[in-house]
Amino acid sequence: MIESHDKKLQYFVSTILADAKAEADTIYNEIKKEKDNFLAATNDDARNESSRITKMDEERIKADCGRRLSHVIMSNKTEMYLRREAIADEVMSDVKKKLEAFVKSTDYTSYLKDVLIKILKTFNQDAAIYLRPEDMHLIHELNNVPFQYNVTFGEGAFSLGGLTAACAVKNIRVDATFDTKINDLRSHFTKLFGINLEY
């Protein structure tokens, strides 16, 4: 009888232990699953945060590189622009010196006569010719140019040399001054070696 009681007790204990173990295994598995899910979510969050931080760093680096590149490009453009202007000034200065020497030579009067003849042939009408104040003493020689219409002379508002001419009948004006030619040369130089400072 005692033996049967012991067997029942043993069976009861083993059943309780088995149930407890099964329950413990279930709880363990649930906790493990929750822990694995938590770790997976944490890893995803960490990866997402790491990716976000990396992307922000990349964008910051790109923006910084862009700013530095823009600064370098603008600095180089400015330097090139200033150098171009300095070269243009040197060229214009040399041209003006040569013009100053030319207008003092005897070739200058011949040059004015040739220009005047071409203009008068084009007009083929009365003409008004304008010289710089320093060249007004050449009127007598220029008046000897053969021309069948009336030619008048006056002072023009330019300083380097050459002449301007106007034909009222045909409403034509010709600018053959060295002042305009210098300006055209400067403009041509700027276009030829043009640098845009905008970026």
Rounded-to-integer distance, Cα 15 and Cα 10, Å: 8
Instruction: Report the percent of the chain where pLDDT is more than 90.
Output: 37
**137-141 average pLDDT score:** 94
Domains and CATH numbers, the chain: 106-192 (3.30.2320.30)
**50-54 average pLDDT score:** 80
Q: Output the pTM of the full model.
A: 0.58
**54-80 average pLDDT score:** 76
Q: How confident is the model at residue 85 (pLDDT cuts 50, 70, 90)?
A: confident
Q: What is the 3-state secondary structure (H, E, C) of 117-158?
A: HHHHHHHCCCEEEEECHHHHHHHHHHCCCCCCCCEEEEECCC
Q: Which residue has the higher pLDDT, 105 or 30?
A: 105
Q: How confident is the model at residue 21 (pLDDT cuts 50, 70, 90)?
A: confident
Residue 108 has pLDDT above 80, yes or no: yes
Q: How far apart are the first and last CA of the chain?
A: 106
Looking only at the bridges linking them, the beta strands covering 151-155 and 162-167 are unpaired
Give me the phi and psi of 7, to 5 degrees please: -65, -40
169 Cβ neighbours under 8 A, 6+ residues apart: 125, 126
Rounded-to-integer distance, Cα 168 and Cα 72, Å: 56
133 close to 161: Cβ distance less than 8 angstroms: no
Residue 2 has pLDDT above 70, yes or no: no
